Amino acid sequence: MALINENYLKLQAGYLFPEIGRRVREFEAANPGKKVIRMGIGDVTQPLVPEVIKAFHEGVDDMASAESFKGYGPEQGYDFLRDAIALNDYKSRGVDISADDIFVSDGSKCDTGNIQEVFGAANKIAICDPVYPVYADTTVMSGKTGTIQSNGYFEGIIYMPCNEANGFIPELPTERPDLIFLCFPNNPTGTVASKEELTKWVEYARANKCIILYDAAYEAFIVDDSIPHSIFEIEGAKEVALEFRSFSKTAGFTGTRCAFTVIPKELKAYDSHGVAHPVKPLWNRRHTTKFNGVSYPVQKAAAAIYTEEGKKQVKEVINYYLENARIMRESLTATGFAVFGGVNAPYVWVKTPNNMKSWDFFDKLLFEANVVGTPGSGFGPSGEGYFRFSAFADRDNVLEAMERIQNLK
Ligand code: MLT
């Protein structure tokens, strides 16, 4: 008799974004001709920049001749990309990360989920609430929790509520976790963490033998020079943190797929006898067993964001989305919403009007303004009464959506 992984039965609903997609498709089928503006899932809308496209084409052309053809590449990524990452994302900010500690992959969503596998099921995980749903869902799938409770929390997860009172920045947990997911700039609230804030977490992790799983997928949107782009900008972080980064939002690779995870050789976790083991060889073992690397043309395309021209072009696209976020913040504030985030981040987090439930507001926006956002409660119980707008949209659509929202009754 084949047995299922019963942990999957603990998950209450389908994954958030396909559920939103289903509701929008249903609305469109019932209302043909209505123009729906999508500001729900954070999916980029601007094309890959010319420098990236040029390198992508070169990568494809290399595959057309026997001399430059590539078969299986190194699972961890080609040196040309890992070296460019180490130099441009880390050394340029005074952070010494070795190219050898960088694992190129097909996405941070996959990596943030897959990382669970190299840590034992007995680990206690701390996550923010609200939070990118992948952290919680994959914690459940990997058997580290009990069932969901009436307050919407899974038994066994340590939740760190993020609300207006704490500025959407988590407080140190009162119960000691083993693994801590942090994401800054934050998805969904768009808040950022200062150097002091991150130092507090690194010190806590060092004192309590925890590991921080740091998701920096949105670091490219940081414009304030004082805000760290990487957890490794904090002294002592290499011994207690690993970091997820992505080309998706940084350079428009949501459809092209390229990301990377940094696991410093200094990072250690323990076996059941209390013996310390480096985490990197475990991830390397997993990666080389279950993954055959990102395709060569895609890695060529990704490396192009680090040329002088590539950096300029990618920055222009980031600024375009940040300007969208500014327009959205100002317009939504003028309409009377309490607005958060959207300054060093592509997400604008608003309080729903008259304490409406998040999904009710989703329906109202969809049915009355034909605008799609993401209900805050989809990110966790503390997201109830909030709503997320993504700035990854065309400018004309942003302006039109804001006008439609202003005209809502
Ligand atoms: C989001 O909208 O939260 C993101 O696009 C999801 C993701 O990056 O997987």
Closest atom, ligand 1, to C-alpha of 249: 8
Mean pLDDT for 348-368 is 96
pLDDT tens for each residue of 33-92: 999 999 999 999 999 999 999 999 999 999 999 999 999 999 999 999 999 999 999 999
Average pLDDT over residues 335-340: 97
State yes or no: pLDDT of 14 exceeds 90.
no
Is residue 19's pLDDT more than 80?
Answer: yes
- Of all protein residues, whose CA lies closest to atom 4 belonging to ligand 1? 42
Contact between 5 and 141 (Cβ < 8 Å): yes
Pocket-forming residues, ligand 1, beta carbon under 6 Å: 41-43, 109, 132, 187
In angstroms, the CA 402 to CA 236 distance is: 44
Residue ranges, CATH 3.40.640.10, the chain? 53-306
374 Cα nearest atom in ligand 1: 2
| pLDDT tens per residue across span 296-331 | 999 999 999 999 999 999 999 999 999 999 999 999
Peptide bond into 375 cis (omega under 30): no
Q: Whose CA is nearest to atom 5 of ligand 1?
A: 42
Cα–Cα distance between 317 and 184 in angstroms, integer? 20
Distance of CA 74 to the CA centre of its chain: 25
How does residue 150 score in pLDDT terms, banded at 50, 70 and 90?
very high
pLDDT attached to residue 409: 79
* Residue 250 near residue 260 (C-beta atoms within 8 A): no
Contact 310, 51 (CB under 8 A): yes
* Confidence (pLDDT) at 368: 96
- Tell the CATH topology of 8-46+309-406: Aspartate Aminotransferase, domain 1 (3.90.1150)
> Is the pLDDT assigned to residue 132 strictly greater than 80?
yes
Give the pLDDT of residue 168.
97
Q: Name the class of domain 53-306.
A: alpha beta
Which of ligand 1's atoms lies nearest the C-alpha of 134? 9
Q: Is the pTM of this model over 0.95?
A: yes
pLDDT value, residue 16: 87
